Amino acid sequence: MTSIDEYMTGLGRRARRASRAMARASTAAKNAALDAIADAIERDRAELKDANARDLARARDKGHDAAFIDRLTLSDKALNTMIEGLRQVAALADPIGEISGLKFRPTGIQVGQMRVPLGVIGIIYESRPNVTIDAAALCLKSGNAAILRGGSEALECNAALAKLISEGLEAAGLPQDAVQVVSTADRAAVGKLITMTEYVDVIVPRGGKSLIARLMEEARVPMIKHLDGICHVYVDDRADLTKALNVCDNAKTHRYGTCNTMETLLIARGIAAEALPLLAKAFKAKDVELRVDAASRAVLDHARHDGALVDATEADWSTEYLAPVLSIKLVDGLDAAIDHINTYSSHHTDAIITEDHDRAMRFLREVDSASVMVNASTRFADGFEFGLGAEIGISNDKLHARGPVGLDGLTSLKYVVFGHGEIRN
């Protein structure tokens, strides 16, 4: 066993022990810990920024770009968001211990399901210190123990945050091992974390596609993971044009870099002559590059669209641009739209714009994606917008949690049986 193996096994063993105490922790104790952590961050702003400054200096020396430095920076605004996030999670209802569906069976036993923590959650993320607090807060509130492994460039401020989390847990009488931050930058630590099935119940990776693809190769612990978001809006020939324009504009241009941004626009042939020129004009006004199939080009040429068009290739239908680029395709109608989406979508979020009830309901049922929408922007696919109160991530998986994952996604249901001495015949 290497020393990294030993170190990680130690973290795992302590996390497993702490998870048992967390599973029976009272709501009051968990909330007190969250509040104490928020207070400590408030108090130690200066120290946190000092630690962060050392991380930032090293990151600049290594030549990281401005976007990286931005994500790594612990500004006052970032600290405020952390503090507010902790208070918000404290204010959420405690999901643990809820018993649902308790029913008597003919044998006399009463059977229901109790919501319980998963146990030990491993979170792997890049150099964004805010995730340290977000993830700790959600794991803590849901009664889990957490092992956090942030990007190596944030080691100093993550260590400083870990100290405050530990202090908050202790103040509330909870085990300090309930949240542990991996203190080594060695990559082997990640390899161990995602394979020690004995101590870790689930891994939540938060980061880019390349991180997740790498983890998928090696992980033996189940993951709640999010890959890409190739989201579609289908404008049906029974669409309301105003809704179509508003929703498509918002779905594409509200933010370009998010996973719930529209990447492909499908338009029913029957409404293309009317809708497509208006849509193209709106996108041109915002400098969105349009990659069109031949039929769309014909419609836009006929309408004398005043703007550049790029010919879409097969690769465009399966590309997540995360940029002011949109692919556009004409389809015969609902069936063709559903076929295209089920073939090319990343099963994240897809929407239909239509006034037709049957088509709306068919789209909802038949499109195989985590979030399916009628007459609403794909940008709504988000834990807060959906009312989950918090979000640990968005799951592209079908098992366990699907779509935005809130506190409930960090729990499972076990069966509880209330008897009176019943035996089986």
Contact with a copy of itself (CB under 8 A): which of 214, 243, 269, 281? 243
Whether 424 contacts 105, CB under 8 Å: no
Q: What is the Cα–Cα distance from 300 to 189, expressed in whole angstroms? A: 54
Looking at this protein, which amino acid is placed at residue 136?
A: A
Site string for a copy of itself, 274-313 (x = CB under 8 A): ----------------------------------------
Least CB distance to a copy of itself at residue 255 (A): 9
Contact with a copy of itself (CB under 8 A): which of 84, 198, 311, 422? 422
Judged by CB under 8 A, does residue 35 bind a copy of itself? no
Whether 190 contacts 108, CB under 8 Å: no
Judged by CB under 8 A, does residue 23 bind a copy of itself? yes
Site string for a copy of itself, 163-202 (x = CB under 8 A): --------------------------------------xx
DSSP 3-state assignment of 274? helix
Contact with a copy of itself (CB under 8 A): which of 4, 47, 53, 97? 97
Q: Which is nearer to a copy of itself, 49 or 379 (CB)?
A: 379
Here the contacts of 188-193 (C-beta below 8 Å, separation 24 or greater) are: 188/2, 188/4, 188/5, 189/4, 189/7, 189/8, 189/149, 190/124, 190/149, 190/215, 191/218, 192/4, 192/5, 192/8, 192/9, 193/8, 193/122, 193/124, 193/147, 193/149, 193/221
Whether 340 contacts 317, CB under 8 Å: yes
Site string for a copy of itself, 373-412 (x = CB under 8 A): xxxxx-xxx---xxx---------xxxx-xxx-------x
Q: What are phi and psi of 331, to 5 degrees?
A: -130, 160
DSSP 3-state assignment of 95? coil
DSSP 3-state assignment of 320? coil
Contact with a copy of itself (CB under 8 A): which of 3, 100, 107, 183? 107
Whether 8 contacts 192, CB under 8 Å: yes
Judged by CB under 8 A, does residue 256 bind a copy of itself? no
What's the half-sphere exposure (Cβ side, CA atoms, 13 Å) at 249?
17
Contact with a copy of itself (CB under 8 A): which of 10, 24, 84, 313? 24
Contact with a copy of itself (CB under 8 A): which of 38, 372, 392, 405? 372
Residue 4 carries which DSSP code? Answer: H
Judged by CB under 8 A, does residue 362 bind a copy of itself? yes
Interacting residues toward a copy of itself by CB under 8 A: 20, 23-24, 97, 103, 105, 107, 109, 111, 114, 116, 118-119, 201-202, 222, 240, 242-243, 246-247, 249-251, 254, 342, 351, 362, 364-366, 368-377, 379-381, 385-387, 397-400, 402-404, 412-424
